[in-house]
Amino acid sequence: MYDIKNKTVMITGAAAGLGYKYAEILLRNGAKNVAVVDLSTSNGQNVVATLENEFGKSRVIFVVCDVTKADDFEKTFKKIVDTFKGLDILINNAGIFNDNYWEKTIDLNVKAVIRGSMLAFDYMGKHKGGKGGLIVNVASIAGLEPNPYLAMYCASKYAVLGFSQSLAKLYNKTGVRVVIMCPGTTGTALLENFRDKICDSIRVALGSDIPDMEKILKQTTDHVAFAMLDLIQKGKNGAVWVVNHGKPPNVVHFPPFSERLLINYHHLLHSNVIYKINCKNCDASYVDKTERLLKTRINKHRNHVNRNTIQHSINTMYDIKNKTVMITGAAAGLGYKYTEILLRNGVKSVAVVDLPTSNGQNAVATLENKFGKGCAIFVACDVTKADEFEKIFKKIVDTFKGLDILINNAGIFNDIYWEKTIDINVKAVIRGSMLAFDYMGKHKGGKGGLIVNAASVVGLEPNPYLAMYCASKYAIVGFSRSLANIYNKTGVRVVIMCPGVTGTALVEDFRDRINDSIRAALGSDIPELDKISNQTTDHVALAMLDLIQKGKNGAAWVVKDNESPCTMDFPSYLERLLPI
């Protein structure tokens, strides 16, 4: 039991709603000081007066801060530490839901959480002379299950989950415990005017199929605050707690990555699958229930394959012949290999989209030499720039007289420049997807189409070496699966490619791309990627061709170690809840 008595606490977004309730319950249970961090336009001053009136003078301060501004946040953090002569607990609570302003959502829900966490990590971490401490990052049940109404919000909360669980893996080095709170629908301002906060393009596609949030039972903020107190006192490092429907909180079990892979057709038909889970802290009844669910799910899939494999493959094979394709980050590496294999297999035209400083012109010349004049065009673009991306999208559609497939492949790994990582790996993917969604979608007069979003195996399992990169790829999985849920309305199939370690420039100088603070914590415990067997880009390209032709809507395919691709199984979080 973690003793919160005499602890100092910083809470972002604490001038109202859940943040205020967290401050109140922590003070009531012995916290010495609380810093209420919120915008200048918030009710912060009045909140502090109310709390001081109940709990005594000088126990609470209000600090004005826009946590999306790096300098502002850093100064605020230092001010709080100096005022309280230390900090024991950080609760990253500030967040918004408004998918029409989704870039702001990513900045606040993702970037600010990463920034706050790393400030606390550096101050508290034993590897930097600190005494340890606690970081609580607020996600949501929308970070555990895709939701078509909240696609961008889902992306942000999936990112928080991946980042936080990655950071938690460093506890033995740092003494900083990291836990995650995932509230369900709660009576706060977050969900007011719910329909208006759904992305316009998605709202058009959904039509009348949008729930009336006014009629949905919401749990109270007091109930969630009690769960937060419990999580702080009892939550194990890396734990993800769900509190929903006003019921007692549960902890979410995450089966190991390897147990969630469904080997494609031939494996299910010809091999013995072991229906076992690895959960040391689970009681016997839960293990038995989960193993039975796993066995049922796999057998159901196997039976479907046995009955329908040949016919299903013939009937649903997506014909790429004469299709037009746009691929971002296609001047080199995997993007170039995707271009090459698609042209080799009958695609009509490919737009190679990459930076003006890239090898794009030479790449197109090589492709035209192999596959004929006019098969490819190079379009220079920085996909992190909204206007630029929109203009080149229109240019490609006009040039090709249409677009059938978009592959959002552009991405980087450099956790030192993690804000750029989020901008390219998350924002640019969302932007590209929505441009394609609007053009291709049947709800807007299009003929349907295909979006392939490139994630990674670290978008499916946390990794302490790549915490920020993990966040970005978790976001892509959550966003893509949410968008895929609208297929029946749009005719736009969305699939996800998750490669493992591949021989590209992405992993060159691996150690130097790890975040400085994390590298300091890890010390010598960093793998040498040069000694790890990398799969070839040609192998991943073949898997991409397969995914485009055969991947079901919403599927996430994993290709690693030069092995056949596998489909990732996503059991509902409701099947993985354990009692506290």
> Which of 539-572 are b and which e, b meaning 16 or more Cβ less than 10 Å from the residue's Cβ?
bbbbbbbebbebbebbbbbbbbeeeebbbbebee
153 assigned to active site = yes
What is the spatial distance between Cα 70 and Cα 418, in angstroms, rounded to a whole number? Answer: 12
Q: For tokens 């826009």, what's the residue?
A: 66
Contacts of 123 (CB under 8 A, 6+ apart): 77, 81, 87, 130, 133
What is the spatial distance between Cα 167 and Cα 384, in angstroms, rounded to a whole number? Answer: 26
CA distance readout (Å), 173 to 164, 170, 279: 15, 5, 24
Amino acid type, 189: A
Catalytic residue from among 22, 153, 474, 573: 153
Q: Is 383 within 8 Å of 428 (Cβ atoms)? A: yes
Contacts of 436 (CB under 8 A, 6+ apart): 326, 393, 403, 406, 449, 451, 492
DSSP 237: T
CA distance readout (Å), 339 to 109, 220, 328: 34, 52, 10
Q: 52 phi and psi, to 5 degrees?
A: -65, -35
Contacts of 388 (CB under 8 A, 6+ apart): 381, 382
Q: For tokens 């100088």, what's the residue?
A: 509
Which tokens sit at 304?
A: 């479907």
Among 202, 179, 214, residue whose Cα is nearest residue 93: 179
Which tokens sit at 315?
A: 């009937």
First to last CA, the chain: 13
Where in the sequence numbering do the catalytic residues fall? 153
